[in-house]
Structure 1
Amino acid sequence: MAMNARSSPTKSSDELVLRSELWNGRDEPRVAFASVNAEEDKPFNFLHVLFDCAIAGGTAGVFVEAALYPIDTIKTRLQAAHGGGKINLKGLYSGLVGNLAGAFPASAIFLGIYEPVKQKLLETFPENLSAFAHLTAGAVGGAASSLVRVPTEVIKQRIQTGQFTSAPDAVRLIVRREGLKGLFAGYGSFLLRDLPFDAIQFCIYEQLLLGYKLAARRSLSNAENAIVGAFAGAITGAVTAPLDVIKTRLMVQGSANQYKGICDCVSTIAREEGISTLFKGMGPRVLWIGIGGSIFFGVLEKTKEVLAQRHFNSQDSSSFKLD
């Protein structure tokens, strides 16, 4: 099926094949778990794609968090510090284990929702609206994963700023002092930051990846995927930096309730510390997300490749037994 499409002399056919290979990241095996090929007879299996994408997303998310946690801690402490307060560079790995426990399901949910939604939208909308499909899928995936991401982020940042020493203590004391809603502190600001972040980052990544493939007329290596991911992450990290500062301040304030909400947080920061405070921690954030993007998308594509090969071998084995 794909070979017939590849042999066609028309440009549109070539582009269709290259687009169908976007999720694969390689030419073989031709049976990818999330490949969308208009000429493929096998129907789209939502649950199958969701499961495999969840594994790939969770794996990639854990790798990023484990590798770059100290940079994230520095960024959080810079954003949480008021005025010209100095930050503590000790205990940069504080809260890592608890964060990894939340990072896997959060990333799994995001990718598990993002990819099937994206595929369905790409089938529904014309090709020139592919960016809209990527933006929408990113926002939907971000909204779904926020139910796990927000409590994980609240606990992580409270530990990073020295309020608690462990995730179990953080959960117990936050619930005791603030109720269950304390675990979702700053939820609105989180969505304000993460929905555009997820949508923009994955849209930039997917569009650059597609354009690169069409220009090069081949699938990309894992290193090339990582470079594109780093570029997408760095740009998105810089654009959303002020939203990240607001989210951090609302999440770490605890029961003090210094800020009444997003608007009050912005106005208070601007009045008491200056507008430039909204860009605190931008350097570590861009570095963290840029490097994190390269790791995340590199591991993501490699994991998808391994899973695709596993399915390919499984189907070959089944065919052999039937024969």
Structure 2
Amino acid sequence: MSRNAKTESAGNTLRFSTSNCPEKEYMSVAADTIQHKSFDFLGVLYESAVAGAAAGAVVETALYPIDTIKTRLQAVRGGAQIILKGLYSGLAGNLAGVIPASALFIGVYEPTKQKLLKIFPENFSAIAHLAAGAAGGAASSIVRVPTEVVKQRIQTGQFASAPDAVRLIVAKEGFRGLYAGYGSFLLRDLPFDAIQFCIYEQLRIGYKLAARRDLSDPENAIIGAFAGAITGTVTTPLDVIKTRLMIQGSAKQYTGICHCVNTILREEGSSAFFRGMGPRVLWIGIGGSIFFGVLEKTKQLLAHKRPLADN
């Protein structure tokens, strides 16, 4: 590799100088990005939003039963048994929220990442990925939290459908009921999003440098699975807290995050914070492979079409 070789994050271009071909001094091996003299914010926003929506829809549809089992394991108290019927309960309503939320997340993440990578030196690229992941998570939480509240209450058998859930939650708890557990959601998802995307991006950078080529679809999927499994493991206790606060409804067993933590420790012990870890890690690991695989493939397809649109 020449001294001009440079790598950037996922979605950016990996270039190698070629002394034998001056007219092709820089060769792109990242098919998912087209270089522009100026940053095409709207183009990146559109492509990222479409790719995020596609990836979110595929993952949610494929892995919803595992998520349902995870939620029921976290919600059960004492020695009660979980119910394995209706594992797809609430899928349609959940997709109605997941698709725009995923579009919003990637739509914010990708432009933010690319802007920050222009500001930070290359050896601080991880900071750009962490910050962009947190920004995407914060923006999408506006849609993700009500979606999660409705989904988890349907999964635990409190409501039969998303319209019924929304109507009854608002009637009994007010509009704020749709944002139950918002603080715990941010406590879980901001570090989750930041860490997962940082691990994914940094692994891709290292792999590209070592391989001196763009990554294949299976390689993107494997890296996504690894990033998801690691992040899912370390954030499981936060997910348990979020689940308990979101599904409690008007009963108000917990008054807040601290009260929830103390109550679980006192009544169920510290092991309760790791309930559902198996299904969660499986769900997020497989989900990471599907999400990032679909995400990168969709970005590549959209990037290939962009020159035709520009002409």
Matches within 5 A, 1:43-122: 43-122=38-117
1:187-222 Cα deviation digits (max 9, x unpaired): 000000000000000000000000000011100001
Superposition TM-score, scaled by structure 2 size: 0.93
Q: Does 1:165 align with 2:156?
A: no
> 1:187 pairs with 166, 170, 182, which one?
182
In structure 2, the residue matched to 1:228 is 223
SS at 1:19 equivalent: coil
**1:23 matched residue in structure 2:** 11
Distance 1:294 1:30 in 2: 21
Residue equivalent to 1:246: 241
- Matched residue, 2:24: none
What amino acid maps onto 1:185 in structure 2? A
| Distance change >3 Å, CA 81–CA 19, structure 1 → 2 | same
Q: Aligned pair in 2 of structure 1 residues 228, 30: CA closer, same or farther (>3 Å)?
A: closer
Question: How far apart, in 2, do the equivalents of 1:194 and 1:168 lie?
Answer: 25
Are residues 1:208 and 2:203 paired? yes
Root-mean-square deviation over aligned CA pairs? 1.8
Amino acid across the alignment from 2:180: A
Structure 1 residue 141 and structure 2 residue 141: aligned?
Answer: no
Q: Aligned-pair distance for 1:61?
A: 0.4
Secondary structure class of the residue paired with 1:119: helix
C-alpha contact 2:130 2:195 (8 A) present in aligned 1: yes
Please say if residues 32 and 300 of structure 2, whose CA atoms lie closer than 8 Å, have aligned partners that are also in contact.
no
The one-letter code matched in structure 1 to 2:11 is: W
Counterpart position of 2:2: 10
**Alpha-carbon deviations, 1:30-58, whole Å to 9, x = none?**
897755x5xx5x20021221111000001
In structure 1, distance between residues paired with 2:184 and 2:80? 24
Distance across 1 between alignment mates of 2:71 and 2:307: 43
Task: Check whether the contact 2:30–2:214 (CA below 8 A) recurs between aligned residues.
Answer: no
Residue 313 (structure 1) shift: 3.0
1:289 aligns with 2:249: no
Alpha-carbon distance in structure 2 between the residues aligned to 1:24 and 1:48: 14
Letter of the structure 2 residue corresponding to residue 219 of structure 1: D
Structure 2 Cα separation of the partners of residues 313 and 32 of structure 1: 15
Q: Does the 8 A contact of 2:221 with 2:290 survive in 1?
A: yes
**1:85 CA drift (Å):** 1.1
Q: Distance in 2 between matches of 1:136 and 1:123?
A: 14
Aligned to 1:82, the other structure's residue is in SS state coil
Shift of 1:84: 1.6
CA contact (8 A) 2:224 2:285 kept: yes
Structure 1 counterpart of 2:248, one-letter code: Q
**1:254-275 C-alpha deviation (Å, 9 max, x unpaired):** 0000001000000000000010
Q: Is the 8 A contact 1:150 1:187 kept in 2?
A: yes
Structure 2 Cα separation of the partners of residues 26 and 302 of structure 1: 17
TM-score by length of 1: 0.89
Question: 4+ residue runs of structure 1 moved beyond 4 angstroms?
Answer: 24-35
Cα 1:163–1:26 change in 2 (3 A) is farther
CA distance in 1, matches of 2:96, 2:131: 27
Counterpart position of 1:259: 254
Equivalent of 2:169 in 164, 174, 178: 174
Q: Which AA in structure 2 matches 1:23?
A: G
